[in-house]
Structure 1
Amino acid sequence: METNIVSYFDGDIVELHYWLKNQTHSMDAFVQNKCDYEFLHVIDGIAKIFDLEVIIETEPLGNGGIKRWFRIIYDIENKKAAITGVIVLTLAVGVFTTPITTALSEITKQLVEKIFEDKKIKELEEEKLKEEIKNLKLDSELKAIQISENKNIAKRKSTFYEVLEKYSNAEQISITIENKDKNPISDEIVIHRNNYKEYIIISDYLDPIQDETALIEIISPVLKKGDYKWRGIYKGEILSFNMKSNEFKTLVQTGLEFKNGSSINCFLEIERKIDTKGDEKILNYNIIRHC
């Protein structure tokens, strides 16, 4: 994200502008509310990663399409919190304006570096806060990586653009960081309608987790033919699983006995996906083979 910033510390407002067809000023309320909801959850999700307590206030709508202003409120007297608040807001905009095919980890890294080059942070370094700011920068770099890998944030961003793509009146959106007087302190970043798909996750399915040395205590074996689920205890949790090992099925059919406490060493595959809220959901536990 290229910016012409006087100081990041002047920015505590983000403007989200929905540009509509024929320069209209009305928008489907459900679409707007859903998009605002996902947008705010991205900001809140990033703030939580930084352990920063923030209040997000909305201000009256503006014309020129539909303009939404969200003010980020935090403890400005606490210099560390003030710097962290700036980081949260800047990274939120960076996340929202980075296509899924672009390496988000590199973008967030560049943004953190740019923030810590800010002239007001340099002034704070001269106020005997150099070591604290150095540690904050290192911590911010690590958390920026967490943000780039966060599935919940990625899903909420994707849902935002997915909703807009289905709403034909939304020709483009733009996002700007502004000061308290609503003067821009960053370049306006515009996302056109024909680019919305670049921000939408193609599949909600995640790569399966594979445990090649899983140990499952059998509770309820399946002794007859058919695709019935077994039950067992895996890492202290009772679960149902699919037996996909034909070799083990054959052993069962030929008389393998199960006693109280019988266990199986196996290659376990755990199928996962991201739900509509951006949370990870387990779909299936599959025993691929007996070890």
Structure 2
Amino acid sequence: MEFLQIHYFLKDDFHSMDAYLKNRAEFEVLRIFKEVTEILELDGELLFESIAIGEGGIKAYYKLLKKKKVKRSVKNALIFLGGILSAIITEVVVNEITTDGEYEKMKKEEVRLHIEKLKKDLESDDKTTKEQTLIIENLSIYIGETNKVKLFKSNFYSNLLKEDKIEKVSTQRLDENLEPITKENIVPREHFDKFIIDTIEIEPEYKESEIIEIVAPVLKKGNMKWKGIFNGKPINFYMRDAEFRTSVINKEISFSNGTNIIADIEMEQTMDNDGEIQIGTISVYNVTDVFEDSKRIETKRKQRNRELENQTKMDFNPE
């Protein structure tokens, strides 16, 4: 059993701070704890208990202990959890959160694979103390790269900046007697902004030539949403292909139960307060085909594109 201490240093010998801001900040700390334990597969195996604050500014102590009902042997990840949490909160600088399609998916998978490898390395019994320290440092960096941890840590430091009394904050591992195990990791107030995300840029996800089942088309002029099914899920979307929309209004294209189209689809994305990516406005562009029962109808756009492609081939293959 050990403790993680978070020390809020206050100026002019103050020993109190805004209770609302303190609770908001500690809420984000607990969200970081929860996310990290889930990543390390320790969720359900340990307890976080908060005990009375100390003197010297404000000190919050979090007791890290294994649940009594858990009979499995203690993982090294649990033994070193205090050090991992301490490093994530005060040492890993936050980068901007961006999501840009395939690159972000590859990056996320790369981070996941690194974390899985480091978790296995940490559980190995043949590692030296120096090697374990390096593993913990790298594990902290990669976990700190996950979007949820970035967001929760950004919220933590944003709340601290709102309290003028706070001069710096630190984390430190303590033993069961509240004696230091490690040095204090200190972040001065002027460095808080290094951990804060100013803007969250979530780029839209754009997919080409996707099949969308039309449930309820809009048959008159206006900016109303169509209803459809995409990847087995119901969606409401804007039809942004003006030419196709005009063909529908002019009754050149009809719809029946089970009509599908092939088109490009763009899904705007937002991040909620829990760090989860949510789908926002959905738009459909470049409709190329319509399937009515067993018939496949090419749109004017596709016919025009094919003629242009054929003309280009002729220009490059003169007799």
1:37 to 2:31 alignment: no
CA–CA distance in structure 2, aligned partners of residues 141 and 290 of structure 1: 50
1:22 to 2:21 alignment: no
Consecutive unaligned residues in structure 1, runs of 5 or more: 1-10, 131-138
1:142 deviates by: 11
> Against the structure 1 CA distance between its residues 218 and 140, is the aligned structure 2 distance closer, same or farther, given a 3 Å change threshold?
farther
CA–CA distance in structure 2, aligned partners of residues 161 and 69 of structure 1: 18
1:162 maps to what in 2? 158
CA–CA distance in structure 2, aligned partners of residues 289 and 180 of structure 1: 65
2:49 maps to what in 1? 57
Q: Which runs of 4+ in 1 moved over 6 A?
A: 76-79, 139-146
> Against the structure 1 CA distance between its residues 81 and 246, is the aligned structure 2 distance closer, same or farther, given a 3 Å change threshold?
farther
> Against the structure 1 CA distance between its residues 12 and 246, is the aligned structure 2 distance closer, same or farther, given a 3 Å change threshold?
farther
Specify the SS of the correspondent of 1:184: coil
Task: State whether residues 148 and 275 of structure 2, in contact with CA within 8 Å, keep that contact through their aligned partners in structure 1.
Answer: yes
CA–CA distance in structure 1, aligned partners of residues 142 and 3 of structure 2: 24
Specify the SS of the correspondent of 1:40: helix
Higher RCO, 1 or 2 (CA under 8 Å, sep at least 6)?
A: 1
CA–CA distance in structure 2, aligned partners of residues 73 and 213 of structure 1: 53
CA–CA distance in structure 1, aligned partners of residues 191 and 247 of structure 2: 55
1:202 deviates by: 2.0
Q: How many residues align?
A: 262
Specify the SS of the correspondent of 1:81: coil
Consecutive unaligned residues in structure 2, runs of 5 or more: 97-110, 129-134, 289-319
Larger radius of gyration: 2
1:85 maps to what in 2? 78
Specify the SS of the correspondent of 2:24: helix
CA RMSD of aligned residues (A): 3.5
2:262 maps to what in 1? 265
CA–CA distance in structure 1, aligned partners of residues 161 and 64 of structure 2: 27
Specify the SS of the correspondent of 1:168: coil
> Against the structure 1 CA distance between its residues 145 and 171, is the aligned structure 2 distance closer, same or farther, given a 3 Å change threshold?
closer
Q: How does 1:139-178 map to 2 (within 5 A)?
A: 147-178=143-174
1:285 deviates by: 1.5
Deviations 1:25-82 (A, max 9, x none): 0011111111111101111211112221210011210111100010111169978534
1:198 alignment partner, one of 185, 194, 199: 194
Task: State whether residues 151 and 274 of structure 1, in contact with CA within 8 Å, keep that contact through their aligned partners in structure 2.
Answer: no
1:208 maps to what in 2? 204
CA–CA distance in structure 1, aligned partners of residues 262 and 26 of structure 2: 48
Question: Which stretch shifts more, 268-277 or 29-38?
Answer: 268-277
TM-score with structure 2 setting the length: 0.71
Q: Percent identity?
A: 28
1:72 alignment partner, one of 64, 71, 75: 64
